[in-house]
Amino acid sequence: MSLPPFPSTSGVKASQLHVFTIEECQSCKQKTKRDFKVGDYVTSSVGACEKCHGQKIISMIYGEEVTPHKR
Cα–Cα distance for residue pair 32/14, rounded to 1 Å: 29
Question: In terms of pLDDT, which residue wins out, 37 or 2?
Answer: 37
Domain count of the fold of the chain: 1
Domain that holds residue 36: 17-65
CB of 22 closer than 8 Å to CB of 60 = yes
Domain-located, residue 71: no
Domain-located, residue 22: yes
Domain-located, residue 45: yes
Domain-located, residue 23: yes
**Sign of dihedral through CA atoms 38, 44, 46, 50?**
positive
Question: Is the bond into 68 cis (omega within 30 degrees of 0)?
Answer: no
> What's the whole-model pTM score?
0.72
Mean pLDDT of 26-33: 96
Q: Mean pLDDT score of the chain, rounded to an integer?
A: 85
Domain-located, residue 7: no
